Amino acid sequence: MAGLDPMALGVFIALFLLVTVLGFFAARWRRGDLTQLSEWGLGGRRFGSVVTWFLLGGDLYTAYTFVAVPALMFGGGAVGFFAVPYAAIAYVFMFLAFPRFWSVARAKGYVTGADFVRGRFGSRSLALAIALTGIVATMPYIALQLVGMEVVLAGLGIHGEWPLVIAFVILAAYTYASGLRAPAMIAVVKDVLIYVTVIAAVIVIPMELGGFGKIFAAVAPGKLTLPTDALANPGAFSYATLALGSAMALFLYPHAATGVLSASSRHVVKRNAVALPAYSVVLGLVAFLGTMALAAGVKAMPQYADGFKTFGNNYAVPALFLHMFPGWFVGVAFAAIAIGALVPAAIMSIACANLFTRNIYREFFKPDCTPARESQVAKIVSLVVKAGALAFIVGGQATAAIELQLLGGIWIIQTLPAVLLGLYTRWLHPRALLLGWIAGMAAGTWMAGASGFKAAVYVLHIGGLDLPCYAALSSLVLNLIVSYALSLLFNALSNTRADQTATEDYA
């Protein structure tokens, strides 16, 4: 594997120290009473358009994204590009539904999606299901951020678990101290580094490799586009369902809700739905890095053989940067990815902590707990969540984390009827929603299990057709059918609701 490059390592460590200082300093930024959950866990709901743009950009486009999307392009070709249409249409959902979510959360003091479901449908069990889904879908996502960090550390020539442990202990300490203000501030550095790295990469590397024409000529002809048979697997149909299902799932993740609710107004949310696609353009360019790695032929080079052996295709981007860039810029690029792991890891652990504190601890154990106690519990849970993710990766369970994250997407989409449709209607019956959730969770998990949790696409046999469909989408359809059909029945039996929200709360 690559030896230590002092220049790369020096730049990397300097940038890492910079964000550490920022992380602790953030507690003083727009100072608020951090013993309140909405201050620690939502930054006081005071972030304007620009900070929210950086925060959500840093939150949604994670280190693992920047490693795994090019890795998919490197290995699978065209099919890996579904992340781009996904990252376009997700913002249509954000634009339409999430200003309503922001408004009702502000009016009623909700901190999580499960808070909203509890208030809207008056069902503790449904809210618990939503909260647990959020927590179990997010935990492996945090673990994957560590995988992203591990890959670039190995690229720098740093091995063993201790650097990962140190990075996470520092992260845990400033998240504990500063709450959501820390990742919001660090996100600015992260995003600037990512933009610089990606823009430099898409200018310099194609020049070195003789242009995009030559780069794409390195892709096997069968992988340059999808098979012409739309129902092939992978094919056009599975590609479209992956993009649509992922787009519907994205804003249901707790860390997305945390980012949205920290905005200072519903207009900030709307403006960001318009402005955030700028990151998706960058994501498209990041995907090309996988193709560039293919054209550069890094996999055949002996100095990267160990990296590919350990990390598989996830090593494509680090190998490409090491091969193409001078040492100091490798330091910048790798710092961009590593810091890109810290921001979402912090927000995700805060989101899990908010869910546990609000929807499990206060709901079931301490209904009369004080706001200060609530904030204290959340801080401790954010530590526990990060320790769990760290133990998972240090324990060598990276493959399990990837499989669980794949399942996480299928699970989180099952909260769509209660959370997203709940923003528009309370006609759905909470018991029907809960049974729909159970049906969707079971069917989705079973479909992913049919491939040994390796593939998210499951082939449905409908009327003599073989439809390869993203399991999240097909299980969501089942969930919706159950939710609507049983709501008809339950509403006919007893149509009483305990809705704490009023129409004007959503405007």
Partner 1 sequence: MDGRQKGGFRPVHLLLIVPFVGCLWVPFYNRALPALAGIPFFYWYQILWVALTALILFIVYVAEGRE
| 396 Rama class: left (phi>0) / alpha (psi -120 to 50) / beta | left
Separation of alpha carbons 290 and 74, rounded Å = 4
Task: Write out 5-63 in H/E/C secondary structure.
Answer: CHHHHHHHHHHHHHHHHHHHHHHHCCCCCCCCHHHHCCHHHCECHHHHHHHHHHHHCCH
The answer to whether residue 426 forms part of the interface with partner 1 (CB under 8 A) is yes
Separation of alpha carbons 20 and 9, rounded Å = 16
**Which of 88, 170, 200, 305 is close enough to bind partner 1 by CB under 8 A?**
88
The residue range among 94-102, 139-147, 404-412, 431-439 that interacts with partner 1, by the rule CB under 8 A, is 94-102
The residue range among 169-177, 409-417, 421-429, 481-489 that interacts with partner 1, by the rule CB under 8 A, is 421-429
Q: Which is nearer to partner 1, 120 or 379 (CB)?
A: 120
Q: Which is nearer to partner 1, 224 or 477 (CB)?
A: 224
The residue range among 77-85, 361-369, 393-401, 443-451 that interacts with partner 1, by the rule CB under 8 A, is 77-85
CB 87 to partner 1: min, Å:
7
CB 247 to partner 1: min, Å:
9
CB 485 to partner 1: min, Å:
18
The answer to whether residue 450 forms part of the interface with partner 1 (CB under 8 A) is no
Separation of alpha carbons 42 and 31, rounded Å = 13
CB 116 to partner 1: min, Å:
12
CB 426 to partner 1: min, Å:
4
State both tokens at 455: 């593939």
Residue tagged 């479901």 (tokens): 117
Residue tagged 């959950």 (tokens): 37
CB 8 to partner 1: min, Å:
30
Q: DSSP secondary structure string, 139-153?
A: HHHHHHHHHHHHHHH
CB 365 to partner 1: min, Å:
31
**Which of 78, 158, 442, 459 is close enough to bind partner 1 by CB under 8 A?**
78
The answer to whether residue 102 forms part of the interface with partner 1 (CB under 8 A) is no
Q: Which is nearer to partner 1, 161 or 499 (CB)?
A: 499
CB 210 to partner 1: min, Å:
9
Contact 52, 263 (CB under 8 A): yes
Q: Which is nearer to partner 1, 180 or 215 (CB)?
A: 215
**Which of 270, 323, 358, 362 is close enough to bind partner 1 by CB under 8 A?**
270
> From residue 129 to residue 168, what is the string marking binding to partner 1 with x (rule CB under 8 A)?
----------------------------------------
Contact 432, 128 (CB under 8 A): no
The answer to whether residue 424 forms part of the interface with partner 1 (CB under 8 A) is yes
Q: Which residues of 139-176 are buried (b: 16+ CB within 10 A; e: fewer)?
A: bbbbbbbbbbbbbbbbbbeeeeeebbeebbebbbebbb
> From residue 162 to residue 181, what is the string marking binding to partner 1 with x (rule CB under 8 A)?
--------------------
CB 233 to partner 1: min, Å:
13
The answer to whether residue 496 forms part of the interface with partner 1 (CB under 8 A) is no
Neighbouring CB atoms inside 10 A of 372's CB total 13
CB 415 to partner 1: min, Å:
18
Distances (CA, A) of 12 to 8, 326, 353: 6, 13, 30
- Is residue 218 classed exposed, middle or buried when 0-12, 13-18 and 19+ CB atoms within 10 A define those classes? middle
CB 226 to partner 1: min, Å:
5
Separation of alpha carbons 498 and 122, rounded Å = 5
Closest C-alpha among 342, 405, 358, 381 to residue 55: 342
DSSP annotation of 499: -
Q: Which is nearer to partner 1, 253 or 288 (CB)?
A: 288
CB 218 to partner 1: min, Å:
12
CB 268 to partner 1: min, Å:
12
Q: Name residues whose C-beta falls within 8 Å of residue 41's C-beta, 6 or more positions apart in sequence.
A: 111, 179, 180, 258, 350, 353, 354, 375, 378
Site size with partner 1, rule: CB under 8 A: 51
Separation of alpha carbons 363 and 22, rounded Å = 35
Closest C-alpha among 83, 419, 422 to residue 260: 419
Closest C-alpha among 347, 349, 361, 335 to residue 387: 349
First to last CA, the chain: 57
State both tokens at 383: 């530590």
> From residue 274 to residue 303, what is the string marking binding to partner 1 with x (rule CB under 8 A)?
xx-xx-xx--xx--x---------------
Subset of 184-243 contacting partner 1 (CB under 8 A)? 206, 211-216, 224-226, 228, 230, 236-237, 239-240, 243
> From residue 15 to residue 34, what is the string marking binding to partner 1 with x (rule CB under 8 A)?
--------------------
Q: Which is nearer to partner 1, 274 or 450 (CB)?
A: 274
The answer to whether residue 85 forms part of the interface with partner 1 (CB under 8 A) is yes
Residues of this chain that interact with partner 1 (CB under 8 A) are 78, 81, 84-85, 87-89, 91-92, 95-96, 100, 206, 211-216, 224-226, 228, 230, 236-237, 239-240, 243-244, 270-271, 273-275, 277-278, 280-281, 284-285, 288, 424-427, 499, 501, 503, 506-507
